[in-house]
Amino acid sequence: QAQIEESGGGLVQSGNSLSLSCTASFGFYAMAWFRQPPGREREFVAAIAWRNGNRDYADSLKGRFTISRDPIRDTVDLRMSSLTPEDTAVYYCAATLENTRFLKTAPYTYWGQGTPVTVSS
């Protein structure tokens, strides 16, 4: 069965950047990052379609977060910049087999275990 693994989480100071990586053992159509802040529900962060490279982001994160595909490591990476304590969350990588342009609402049925990111003030 498909396996998804996130890495790169940790403790980071406010204003700094952090990059997360996601690997998948299957050729999914699109992969995405979600996050779940403490005490809050999970929310969409960003997504990328493997085939055409289309990207989508949560409106509030545009300009600060960048999702990309690493052709060398074959990973989906999330670069987070200008981090604030509000970005503290467990970040999850997810994947979908559905071919769709609507990446935010695609059925992400494959999930990693999550990697925690803590942003200190």
Mean pLDDT in runs of 10 for the chain (121 residues)? 90 98 89 97 96 93 93 91 98 94 94 97 92
How far apart, in whole angstroms, are the C-alpha atoms of residue 18 and residue 11?
A: 9
Residues 6+ apart with CB under 8 A from 27: 50
pLDDT score at 1 = 66
**Token pair recorded at residue 36:** 């779940």
